Amino acid sequence: MSVFIKGMGLIAPNWDCENKKFHIDPNSNLIPYLTCMEPDYKKFINPVAIRRMSKILKMGTTSAKIALNDAGLDNVDAIVLGTGFGCFSDTTVFLDAMLDNAEKQLTPTAFIQSTHNSVNSQIALMLKCNGYNYTYSHGGLSFENALTDAIMLLNDKDAENVLVGGFDEITDLMYTSMKSAGWCVGDTIFGESCGMFVLTNVESDFNYCKIDDIRTSTTEVDFGRNIFRFLEDNNLHINDLDLILEGSTDTRWLTEQKLAPDVPLFEMWKHITGESMTATVNALNFAASIIKTQQIPDELVIKGRIKSNYEKVLILNNFRNLTQSLILVSKC
């Protein structure tokens, strides 16, 4: 059974979701990581509900609302999200309060919002969705594993419309910790983003694209060989691809290894979106938009000959050489 993207919502450093406009210049010039272009949340969420929400909850509920509006739906059958660090900011607030007040006088709000599945819960409450609700927190494959689960739900006909997404915020403390842990190697730029997709198993002219296949790897492997095996399993040759989105932090495998010299390549997309454990949401959004509109935004620099048709797009993601993923999407 085929799985399609029916609607999308993205809050990211390069995407103005209110005006649906792409901005190549990151809006955070003064800090060493990329923060999101945030919309006026009150336009999307009930102002009474919003007052208690942290930034990541606002981002999650708003992008979910945008994706559902885009899909023309009021509700979904399931909510499956992925996150690396969860609601880190509120976790910090809660832990700080525990230390400052000697584990007494703790307020409930930060605690409620500090769990990894707070965003899922908030979206479910907002939509009054009592269906399947699951949060994956699997490092650099958090979003990919959520996507795999959503695809299985649709393939098994356990659902007709599934909200799937990935979110990760970044704070000063998180950046400092990642830097101390040696994560900021080479020209890595960390960032935050929140991307939601409504997936469906119902074919329609309005769908963005089809998700053909997804494959993940958690061991150190020959990534080039993996790409070719993945394409072979999908009866494709690398030159059948119309575009490759290569997301790495510091290695340009395709260019360095000359693996796909004849395929247009959008190299190092994470320099625009920022690196995070769920950065793939940005690439999937790029790919679906390009296939739907058959246009590549002028701001994106593509290596190689630009094609007139974009039917098959391959997304590559490598998170800190620890986890890799491949997602193949195509025109409906």
Q: Build a one-symbol-per-residue string for 105-144: x at contacts with another protein by CB under 8 A, - elsewhere.
A: xxxxx--x--------------------------------
In the bound state with another protein, the residue whose beta carbon lies nearer, of 1 and 48, is 48
Give strand pairing partners of 2. none
Residues 6 or more apart whose CB falls under 8 angstroms from that of 118 comprise 57, 86, 87, 90, 112
Q: Is 202 left (phi over 0), alpha (psi -120 to 50) or beta?
A: beta
Nearest distance from residue 39's CB to another protein, in Å? 16
Distance (Å, whole) CA 213 – CA 218: 17
Q: What are phi and psi of 314, to 5 degrees?
A: -110, 130
Number of CB atoms found within 10 A of residue 45's CB = 18
Stretch that binds another protein, among 74-82, 103-111, 214-222, 237-245 (CB under 8 A): 103-111
In the bound state with another protein, the residue whose beta carbon lies nearer, of 110 and 259, is 110
Number of amino acids touching another protein (CB under 8 A): 10
| Site residues (CB under 8 A) for another protein, limited to 25-84 | 48, 51-52
DSSP string for residues in 151-185? HHHHHTTS-SEEEEEEEE---HHHHHHHHHTT---
Only one residue has tokens 């009930």, namely 46
Nearest distance from residue 221's CB to another protein, in Å? 47
Nearest distance from residue 10's CB to another protein, in Å? 25
Distance (Å, whole) CA 326 – CA 315: 6
Only one residue has tokens 């584990």, namely 103
In the bound state with another protein, the residue whose beta carbon lies nearer, of 42 and 225, is 42
Stretch that binds another protein, among 68-76, 102-110, 129-137, 163-171 (CB under 8 A): 102-110
The reply on whether position 99 binds another protein by CB under 8 A is: no
Nearest distance from residue 57's CB to another protein, in Å? 12
Q: Which residues bind another protein (CB under 8 A)?
A: 48, 51-52, 101, 105-109, 112
